[in-house]
Structures are given as structure tokens and as C-alpha cells.
Amino acid sequence: MSTNFSSALTHPVFKVVSQIASEKGISAFVIGGFVRDLIIGRPSKDIDIVVLGNGLELAQLSAEKLRVKKVSLFKNFGTAHFAYKDLDVEFVGARKESYRSDSRKPIVEDGTLQDDQNRRDFTINALALSLNIETFGNLIDPFNGLKDIELGIIRTPLEPDITYSDDPLRMLRAIRFATQLNFKIETKSLESILRQSDRLKIISQERINEELNKIILADQPSRGFILLKSTQLLHQFFPEMIALVGIETIDGKSHKDNFYHTLEVLDNVAEKSDSLWLRWAAILHDIAKPPTKRFDKEIGWTFHGHEDLGARMVPRIFTRMRLPLDQKMKYVQKLVRLHLRPIALVKGTVTDSAIRRLLNEAGDDIEDLMTLCNADITSKNEFKVKKYKQNFEIVSLKLKDVEEKDQIRNFQPPVTGELIMQTFGVGPCAEIGIIKSQIKESILEGTIPNEYEAAYAEMLRIGAELGLKIEA
């Protein structure tokens, strides 16, 4: 008896496609991620429909019936796509792919449903549900993918060496799915990945990033990074992170393993925020610890300046990894540079002026910086963690307090350059910059409040010191 999922295929798209396929005498199946997610009970917006016959025509007729106006046809690839409500529906002809050792591009030809399932990456991604009227909802599962979902196993349909060598990106996808779904990768697969991890070099960085960012966005990204390290895939595209691995001991003094520390921070951030770039800041916050590491006989291990060097490494890493070089990079760079600042406040005495300076530098990213910094409090010593977290609370409260009182976050000078020029009857000159920065300095230091009257008086005082005369 075959397993049937017709009761789960209630969406009008399936009924319509089924009806039209039957009228045209062709076969159609839902396949891949949508079926997997349906069984797992995970929401999914992409429907892939594989067609034995003319997929373009089936797509067009289905769209008409659903009153969808825009259908994109890719005649060269034999694929079609339309959006229906919040779903993306893609039609593609069943394909057979054969790879030759001397070329990365497969030879693609029309194939059977079985051919199409053979070319899929994992058993859990090769499941198909029939849309044909007589067999509507029947599961076609040649590789026991359903059982692998139940067992939580990532397994390749063919021999792992073949599946991974045909398209080495699949090695990264194995880890991506294992991380997202909290599945185990079967041992045979892991061994195969380790054997050919260096083949990832032939994959474009853009394709790598798509999978890497999905790993980073998972509930517990550390799971993925531990697998990336043990399979040596991480070595291929992220040597700076591999450099964080390891503990050194001199005179009985050891430092912590910065790779595992970074993963702890990343998981802590992931608990609080879904922001990809905040998570990237967690990954990179200690990236310059290896090149700044020193041993001092008196004080032990130090990593002086790792926040500044780390911030300088960010653009280099983003460029090489083809990550965006826009505001997102600047944001990550800023968080890396400032990541020690709140903690320094936690350890010392918290003055209003130190808080104002931090607010002024972090601007609107202050909350994210505090999230990162709080996540950075990790130690085997529970007492220490508790004490730091308590102090951290105090700094957070103080921040709110100062912010309400002084409004420093997006600092706008209460006295403008224009007013300074008018008051002293001068044109643009060096003195204006001096006056403005000294007023700002006094406000941050707390010698005057962030208000017009006080700033005006301060302007007059500094102007007089500089020998400027008030315009009559």
C-alpha cells in the first residue's frame, strides 16, 4: 500500500495543475523541499513541480485558470515560474543529468521521474507526490526518504562519493540541512566529505554564501560550524576562523579556545536576534585574536588591540568572501571595533561621560552592540558570569537613563556653524571646527548639558579664548 498525502494537498494550485495535466494527458509531481517540509511540518513557500511532458504549457494553462497574470517562461531551460498569493510555483521538465570527470557542467537530457529523483542531493529532498488524478497524493519515495526524515538522517540517494563529486556544493548543503533540521549526517557521507573537501574550491563564493548564511541563520548555528570544521570545509573558504582553533599553554597558563568561544557567542546572539549581520558580527568579533596574541610573564595571555585590528580585517574578509561591501559591512565593522567597550564599563566604574561617549559612537546600533556584548560574557566560572551579567544590567539601566536625559544617540550640535559665523562675523575658517568640537567634547564630558543655552555660552567662551570678537 502506498502512503498518500492527498489530504495535505488542499491548496488550489495542486487541484488546478492536476486537472489540467489530466486533460493534456501528461504527468506532474510535487517534488523536493516542499514535500520534505510538508512531512516535517515546516512552513514552505516554494513549490517545485516536475513534469513529464510540456511543462511550459502546463504552467501557462494553470496560471490562466488561477487568474495569475504574470508567468515567466525560460524556454531554453524548459522551466516556468509564477507567483500565486504568497507561493512561488516553479515548473520544470523531468531531467536526467550525467557528469563527466573532465567537465563540471552536466549533460542534461529529458528523463523519467526516477532520473529526476536520482539527480537530487539527499534522500529527504528526493520525495515526490503525484498530482495525477488516479494517484493524487501518492508518495514516490525510491530512496526511503520518509524513513530518513523519521530517523533524522541526511543521506545521499547514490554513493556519497558520486553525489558530492558531481556537485561539491552538496557537501555544504548536507551541513546546512543538518543544522537547520537538527539531523545527523550519515557517517559514510561525512567521510566522503572529508575526503573531497578541497573540491569546494571549484564552487563560486556566491553559491557558498547562500548555504553559509542559511547555516548562520539556523536556531543553533554552532552545530553547523562544528561540522564545517570537522569536515575541513571551513578551511577552504574561511581560514581566519580556523586560526581561532586551539589552546596554548605557557608556564601553566592557558587561554580559552577562541573558536569554541566564538561559537558560544554566536549561539547566544542567535537566541536573542534573527539578524544575519549581528550574527556575522558575533562570528568576527574576536577574529584578530590570533594575530594579536602575546604572552607576558606577569599578566599571561593578552590580545591587545584585537578589536581594532579585527575591524580592519572586516573589509578584507568581506571582499574576499564577496559579502556586501555597503552599510552592512560598515555595521559589522563598527560592532567588532566597539565590542569591548560596554564590557569595559561593566568591569570599571560607570561614569555618565563614558556612557555618553559610547552612545555617541554606537548611535542607533547601541542595542545590537549591547546584545553582542552580553552574549560575549562566557566563562566556565559561573560565579564570574553571574557577576558580569549583574554589572551588565547596571550599565544597561544607566544607558537608558543617560539617553533619556541627554539625547546623545544621534548627536546634533545645539549650535550650528552658521550661528558661530554670524555671531563672530567670520566666514568659514578653522576656528569654527574647533569651537564645534570643543562644545561636543564638553557635552560628552558632562561639563555642560546638551542644550542650546549652555552651548551658546560655551561658544562665546571658546570664541573669546580664540581671540574672536562678537559682531555688534
Does residue 125 belong to the site contacting ligand ATP (CB under 6 A)?
yes
Residue 121 site contact among ligand ATP, Mg ion, none (CB < 5 to 8 Å, cut-off depends on kind): ligand ATP
Using the contact rule CB under 5 A, the part of the chain among 15-23, 45-53, 162-170, 197-205 near Mg ion is: 45-53
Q: How far is CA 203 from CA 105, 158, 209, in A?
A: 12, 21, 10
Write the DSSP string, 38-95. HHHT----EEEEEEES-HHHHHHHHHHHTT---EEEETTTTEEEEEETTEEEEEEE-E
| Locus of grid cell 564630558 | 445
Minimum separation from the CB atom of position 327 to ligand ATP (A)? 26
Residue 140-169 contact track with ligand ATP, rule CB under 6 A, x = bound: ---------------------------x-x
- As measured in angstroms, the least distance from the Cβ of 125 to ligand ATP is 3
What is 236-258 written as a DSSP string?
HH-HHHHTT----EETTEE---H
Question: Which letter does DSSP use for residue 387 in this model?
Answer: H
Phi, psi of 235 (to 5 degrees): -60, -30
Closer to Mg ion by Cβ: residue 23 or 46: 46
Interatomic CA distance for residues 165 and 158, integer angstroms: 11
Reading the block at residue 197, the C-alpha cell is 573537501
Say how many C-beta atoms besides its own lie within 10 A of residue 33's C-beta. 18
Cell output for 281:
558580527
Round to whole Å and give the CA distance between 284 and 259: 11
The answer for residues whose C-beta is within 8 angstroms of residue 402's C-beta and 6 or more apart is: 352, 355, 356, 359, 408
Taking CA atoms, 23 is separated from 18, 61, 215, 469, in Å, by 9, 11, 43, 92
46 forms part of the interface with ligand ATP (CB under 6 A): yes
Which of the ranges 18-26, 39-47, 50-58, 74-82 carries the binding residues for Mg ion, by CB under 5 A?
39-47
Out of Mg ion, ligand ATP, none, what residue 169 binds, judged by CB under 5 to 8 A for its kind, is ligand ATP
Closest residue to ligand ATP using C-beta atoms: 33
* Residue range at the interface with Mg ion (CB under 5 A); choices 30-38, 66-74, 183-191, 292-300: 30-38
**Least Å from the CB of residue 72 to Mg ion:** 17
Is residue 46 within the footprint of Mg ion (CB under 5 A)?
yes
Cα separation, 457 vs 439, in Å, equals 10
Closest CA to 341 of 361, 312, 315: 361
CB closer to Mg ion out of 149 and 377: 149
Q: Which stretch binds Mg ion (CB under 5 A): 14-22, 44-52, 170-178, 277-285?
A: 44-52
Q: Please work out the total of residues on this chain that contact Mg ion, with binding judged by CB under 5 A.
A: 2
Among 69-77, 120-128, 265-273, 323-331, which window interacts with ligand ATP (CB under 6 A)?
Answer: 120-128
33 binds Mg ion (CB under 5 A): yes
If one asks whether residue 170 binds ligand ATP (CB under 6 A), the answer comes out as yes
Residue (of 188, 189, 177) closest to 223 by Cα position? 177
The answer to whether 289 contacts ligand ATP (rule: CB under 6 A) is: no
Stretch that binds ligand ATP, among 118-126, 268-276, 359-367, 440-448 (CB under 6 A): 118-126
Q: What character string, x for contact with Mg ion (CB under 5 A) and - otherwise, covers 297-336?
A: ----------------------------------------
Binding of Mg ion at residue 453 (CB under 5 A)?
no
Q: Which residues bind ligand ATP (CB under 6 A)?
A: 32-33, 46, 48, 120-121, 125, 167, 169-170
Q: Which residues bind Mg ion (CB under 5 A)?
A: 33, 46
